[in-house]
Structure 1
């Protein structure tokens, strides 16, 4: 079964580079970026995990935990982490799941047989504190992911969860946002958006970004 937006992320128990974990207990009340990589000791994956490690402060200030997975064994993971830290000039502090039996990868639909029957593809899941899946992305093996985009999505999700707004195309932190079309009451609009708004069309109303709730 394919996991879709709004589905509950499957729980699992696994051996990781940070020890044995229960995913739900490890995640706690945090947002989570859960991402798979095809294999240890491969070039694109090395740059990706190095990037995630370097972005730790950015994830921390948004209340986000990161966790990676592949079907390699735990010893390979530990050995590869040393290479990541050496070549990417960083320290890997997030766990990497060793999923040799593919049970977690299969639960999350990370094996795509037409792409590779034995390895996980580059899947990404953003999971909120209620364990609901809020974003899914799948990249081809030869294309490294843009983790700045994942930070942007986290910012948008956390903002729109707290306010009756949506974010326009190419939105960045601090840009104007869109008042959701379902909000009609002018008194409520004035209360929620004291800086006012620009009506381009009745369904397209721009307002300065409110503070996060």
Structure 2
């Protein structure tokens, strides 16, 4: 059974470019993005790691830590980092997990248990399913999962947009409509009565009996 939204994110201890970490301890009381890669020195992943490095400050503003994982040893990550900076102009300062025994990839159900326990001799195609993004909340629950094909670079602006929505809706009884961006109108959830909606949000617009919109709460 694969991991689903609201499942508890599996904890682990692993070697990274920042030394040995325990995942839960590293997350602390904030949010985290774990994003995975099938192999070092692959073109699409090189652009992704550099893009995330350039956006790290945006994640920090939201109390979100970034951690990558690639199915290769840590010493290979260090060499890859030089290529990432050459290609993108950004230096990777967030930790990158070395998953040479495939344990984290299997723990997060990105590879089946029977694939073995070594990254040696495995090609990017062998690890093609290790292309996921997990957003994990302060409660260590999985809030979002996205999995991409190897030929499609990930849109990290969308990850930020989704985090903005999830953090907002965790504080207020609202939801966000399609293509919502921070600052735009939100949806009042059905659990809030009309009377309570007026008390909470002031005025609102009833589009349909079950679809009520209001200004984004400010706090």
Q: CA deviation at 1:116?
A: 4.2
Q: CA deviation at 1:120?
A: 4.8
**In 1: Cα distance, 2:216 partner to 2:136 partner:** 24
Matches within 5 A, 1:160-175: 160-175=169-184
**In 2: Cα distance, 1:69 partner to 1:57 partner:** 20
- The 3-state SS of whatever aligns with 1:141 is coil
Residue 151 in structure 1 maps to residue 160 in structure 2: yes
Q: TM-score, normalised by structure 1?
A: 0.94
Q: CA RMSD in A?
A: 1.5
| Corresponding position of 1:190 | 198
| Corresponding position of 2:100 | 100
Q: What runs of 5+ residues in structure 2 fail to find an aligned partner?
A: 116-123
Q: What runs of 5+ residues in structure 1 fail to find an aligned partner?
A: none
4+ runs deviating over 2 angstroms: 115-121
Q: TM-score, normalised by structure 2?
A: 0.91
| Corresponding position of 1:199 | 206
User: Contact 2:105–2:130 at 8 Å: present in 1 too?
Assistant: no
- The 3-state SS of whatever aligns with 1:55 is helix
**In 1: Cα distance, 2:176 partner to 2:141 partner:** 20
**In 2: Cα distance, 1:20 partner to 1:127 partner:** 20
- The 3-state SS of whatever aligns with 2:91 is coil
Q: 1:104 to 1:83 in 2, by over 3 A?
A: same
Residue 5 in structure 1 maps to residue 5 in structure 2: yes
Show CA shifts across 1:24-83 (max 9, x none).
111101101101011111110010000100001100000000111111011110000111
Show CA shifts across 1:131-180 (max 9, x none).
00010111001110000000000000000000110000000011100000
Tell me how many residue pairs correspond in the alignment.
209
